[in-house]
Amino acid sequence: MKIFDMLNKKKECCGKDNEFVNAVEGSELKNIIVVGSNCCKSGYNLYEQLKQIIKESNVAAKLTYTDSIEAASEYGIISKPAIVIDDKVIACNNGIDENGLKEMLVSY
């Protein structure tokens, strides 16, 4: 592969929004958004980790990943990745461990 081809190749997460919904009967969906940076793998990894935790914990949630600048500016996010739950910025650029993420989902 030529060097220019490698530079122009985008990672699979870039430039697209991903959405996952886990509906639980009798529960209202939490709206969770992971705001990442363009081509920064840590935001997409956080999205995947949250998706797994939501499935395992059976939390009613709509989880979305975006790397749009508009979404970041809408919530006033400077450091990414960030987690937004029901329009409140919960965490920015924190190394939240799995237990912290589980507690966060239950408490909000």
Domain definitions of the chain by residue range: 21-107
Question: 21-107 falls under which CATH superfamily?
Answer: Glutaredoxin (3.40.30.10)
Residues of the chain above pLDDT 70, percent = 81
The pTM assigned to this predicted structure is 0.79
pLDDT above 50 for 89: yes
43 in Cβ contact with 81 (< 8 Å): yes
Look-up: residue for tokens 């935790």? Answer: 53
Q: What region does 52 belong to: left with phi over 0, alpha with psi -120 to 50, or beta?
A: alpha
85 in Cβ contact with 96 (< 8 Å): no
pLDDT above 50 for 104: yes
